[in-house]
Chain A
Amino acid sequence: MKHLLSAADLSRDEALQILDTAKQLSVATEQGVGKLPPLRGRTVVNLFYEDSTRTRISFEAAAKRLSADVINFSAVGSSISKGESLKDTALTLEAMGAHAVVIRHNSSGAPHRLANAGWISGGVVNAGDGTHEHPTQALLDAYTLRDHLRGGEGDLTGLNVTIVGDVLHSRVARSNILLLNTLGAKVRLVAPPTLLPYGVEDWDCEVSYDLDSSLDGSDAVMMLRVQRERMNAAYFPTSHEYSNRYGLNVTRMNRLSQNAVIMHPGPMNRGMEISADVADSNRSVIVEQVANGVSVRMAVLYLMLGGSESLK
């Protein structure tokens, strides 16, 4: 694996290798091994053009636990805020000998450019680009689902996963749809028509505008963050109407089957897409998602940098 730009880059076997590796790494964590050696001498740069403390910390913890040297490069207070171009930043990182760049960018496709424009020779991990993709989030979601619903082994064949909310602007949804399909799960999207991408009927998933009729048979419900500001662009009339029609509250939660889990990529808008009682319920695996994020990102970095492939 040279880069991880899109969940679509992963075959079933590659995805399972990442999940299996993450499993072993999380076992090591549970066994109390603080630091593992395989990325000693490797430099990982966290290049963050968007504020995302939770994702950056997760990648940073992952890289450090594998003994990599970590350089954090954030848009705020750096040469980026002085108008330096992505290209010049990339050339700088190349000169500093970065073996991998973890990039979060508000522009869809920026990781593709970084990986393919010939600016750097190291690997690129997409840590969320615009409204495009967020592949490590999809991996940690798959890991969480597998852990809860498949005993931590194999793929996700037969699972029904319902993704609810602002699919149009969600990189999490795009990556999840791709990866869940690769792993054999069935995906259903639920959103108001305004928050579904043009052409969604050609995607590999079911689409519904009605949450209540979509809860039956769902093994997992993944709630997406909905920004309140979206109503200013006429995506929906009011946040009140949105949460009435598409928010997950206790009444709706109680209609889910016994084993179904509730997920959210965070940060949550409590009271908007998810009620506080649901977020804090025992159905919710939101906190586990965060913990699993570190293991999955460790696995990605290990498989990318642990062997010979990325050697210059």
Chain B
Amino acid sequence: MTSYVIKDVSILDGKPTDILIRDGVIAEVGSGLKGDEVIDGTGCIALPGLVDLHTHLREPGREDAETILSGSRAAAKGGFTAVHAMANTDPVADTAGVVEQVWRLGKEAGLVDVRPVGAVTMGLEGTALAELGAMADSAAKVRVFSDDGKCVHDALLMRRALEYVKAFDGVVAQHAQEPRLTQGAQMNEGVLSGKLGLAGWPAVAEEAIIARDVLLAHHVGSRLHICHLSTAGSVEIIRWAKSRGINVTAEVTPHHLYFTDDVVESYDPIYKVNPPLRTAADVAAVRAGLADGTINIVATDHAPHPSEDKDCEWTAAAFGMTGLESALSVVYETMVVTGLLNWAGVADRMSVQPAQIGRVSDQGQPIAAGAPANLVIFDPRASELVEARKTVSASRNTPYAGRTLPGKVVATFYRGTPTVRNGELNV
């Protein structure tokens, strides 16, 4: 196997050094190292390979939007070495058979670890538990369960799911959305939704479910994860829950760190997403929550959609944005450039903790001799104009199109093999 040496790269916030990669592991870290091939890391940052706890790969069912292969490529391009494939496929990933299929296709693609997420309820219908144990025991070893896209709104069912997954150290990842309060909802409920005549998605619809679920998790002593938290009030509730010792973790998406709901004024459905883009106060709160650790991780909620589902009027459009390829640059711009996080913090929020929550072994490890060679080399001095037609994902619904984002993934190593080199896919 070819060995690689990355020259003069800063590991997180450290001084420039060399990293030698051989036989799938980091062989040595130090100066003056030699390898078969040399990658210049001058001015760049080395981070452990990114782990996404929330990715929609659309296969099986919507291969026109994304496949496990195209999604894996997009993930590698963005510096990821592991992704969690959400369960809302067609058929739904609610049986051992479907999760094993996804897991196997991920293996075949071989660009990132594809970790299937199992549905909490059969068919995401919110009425009966799916075979959580069978999915956990399958070859896919599912540990994260979510009805994402839909909320497990039945309190009793949620309680049972929280309890049940304790048997195999699983976690329920809740899409917190009170359904009755969000019927027909199109955007954040605020002054702007009233003005634009779009049905509002009130913050309380998210916060009420989070409040209920942290209390439930506390009551039954379970682990709970909150998907794509988006409001200042949600941050407060998580902060309170953690102060009480409740075992809850939470994620925020790059787009909720970056955008405010003002962009909806264009009625361009590229900005239509669930949960919706929120106010400037919410953006400030989720950034602060991510900085102080209240919010544990960044997860992309990469949601590819074919053009026809976005090239239409707002209410007819699908919810969701792609995010794998832009995530690190967005976090860099919103958290690092602003001084809220250093690189160690970025590694913690985008690799270490997501791997822990998802129980992904050999991901999210410190960059040190002996660790699996999953890492990303990021050049913060570069910047790139995002162009929808140039995305690696099979879908074009990036909300950053036409914007310039700072930094660039120069290289991604997955188990010792460069999936990205010189900023381009290497596969």
Contact = CB atoms under 8 A, between A and B. Distances in A.
Given A108-B196, A171-B197, A199 B191 contact: yes
Nearest to B269: A113
Contacts of A106: 315
Given A107-B313, A112-B267, A198 B190 contact: yes
A139 B231 CA distance: 39
B197 A130 contact: yes
Interface in A172-231: 174, 197-200, 202-203
A64 B408 CA distance: 58
B384 interface: no
A257 interface: no
B196 A85 contact: no
Contact of A200 (B194, B200, B268, B312): B194
Contacts of B314: 107-110, 113
Given A107-B313, A109-B267, A109-B314, A199 B190 contact: yes
Contacts of B315: 106-109, 130
B194 A87 contact: no
A23 interface: no
A198 B267 contact: no
B197 A129 contact: yes
A85 B191 contact: no
Interface string B171-210: 0000000000000001001111111111110100000000
Interface centre among B198, B202, B313, B315 (most CB of A within 10 A): B313
A196 B3 CA distance: 67
Contact of A202 (B186, B191, B308): B191
Q: What is the interface residue range for chain A against chain B?
A: 20 to 34
A105 interface: yes
A45 B193 CA distance: 29
Contacts of A117: 268, 311
Given A112-B267, A198-B189, A85 B195 contact: no
A65 interface: no
B266 A116 contact: yes
A132 B313 contact: no
A85 B200 CA distance: 25
B316 interface: yes
Contacts of B311: 85, 87, 117
B312 to A, nearest CB: 6
A200 B197 CA distance: 12
A86 B267 CA distance: 14
Contacts of A67: none
B254 to A, nearest CB: 25
A6 B198 CA distance: 15
Contacts of B313: 86, 105, 107, 109-110, 113
Contact of B196 (A87, A109, A168): A109
A108 B193 CA distance: 10
B198 A109 contact: yes
A199 B192 CA distance: 8
Contact of A113 (B196, B198, B312): B312
Interface of A: 85-87, 105-110, 112-113, 116-117, 129-133, 168, 171, 174, 197-200, 202-203
20 contacts: A85-B311, A86-B313, A87-B311, A107-B313, A109-B196, A109-B198, A109-B313, A113-B267, A116-B267, A129-B197, A131-B199, A132-B196, A168-B194, A174-B195, A198-B190, A198-B194, A199-B194, A200-B194, A203-B191, A203-B195
